[in-house]
Amino acid sequence: MPNGSLDRFIGKSEFLDWPTRYKILLGLASALVYLHEECGNPVVHRDVKPNNVMLDSDYNAHLGDFGLARLLENNGSVTTMIAGTPGYLAPVVSFMGRATPESDVYSFGMVVLELVCGRRTKEMMDENSLVDNVWRNYEKGALLECVDKMVEDKSEEEQVRRTLMVGLACLHPDYTLRPRMKKVVHIFMNPDEPLMNLPETRPIAVHLSFNSTSFSTSTTTDFGHSALGEIHTE
């Protein structure tokens, strides 16, 4: 691809204006809608990250590297060896190797934050991680303070704010509360599309309960728990 991967434009000297960043995120979201809902046999990519987002001469986004991709089974998930890139893995994937469309949504949320904020993520347990920083700004009503300083178009502030809120919703630790990618596309294409409801404070812990046939998750805002959660077996 003429413009390489999205990775070269995050936190580096290469510049992308806001309309181009928004176009890239819409293109990536549309690619995931195709994989999850429109391609006949649903596919989970399992490695959505800036390095795998290729940009053509017009900065259209193309999702590449399907080496970890898997066809979904009848129950809507696939369980394999834990694979993917640290920092982009949803908690359920990290614990159980269970990949679903919702785990791709989580990875997409991380890409959103990185591209809007202009910096790469750190490990989730790092108190200065990108996710922590964005949530802190959201909680104090100053979400736009974490936006990349190279994005100076004040006329697009509402679109930028909505995009960050989409990113946070995609990163919800409870996979059942993440939006589907089709909802994300609707939000990106329509400024009047209602946003997902976000909690007032960051949901921290993920409690997993599972046996040989099923598992469930719940979330809490108890900051005494681990940022990645706990596993309870039955």
Active site residues per annotation: 47
Taking a C-beta distance cutoff of 8 angstroms, is the pair 233, 207 a contact? Answer: no
| Contact criterion met (CB below 8 Å) for 56 and 20 | no
Three-state DSSP state, 211: coil
For 213, list phi and psi in degrees, rounded to 5. -120, -15
DSSP summary character for residue 38: I
User: In angstroms, rounded to a whole number, what is the distance separating the alpha carbons of residues 169 and 42?
Assistant: 22
- Residues facing residue 219 across a β-bridge: 206
Please report, for residues 100, 102, 105, 119, 158, the alpha-carbon distance to residue 227 in angstroms, rounded to integers and kept in the order given. 21, 19, 19, 21, 29
Non-local CB neighbours of 116 within 8 Å, separated by 6+ positions? 21, 147, 148, 151, 160, 163, 164, 167
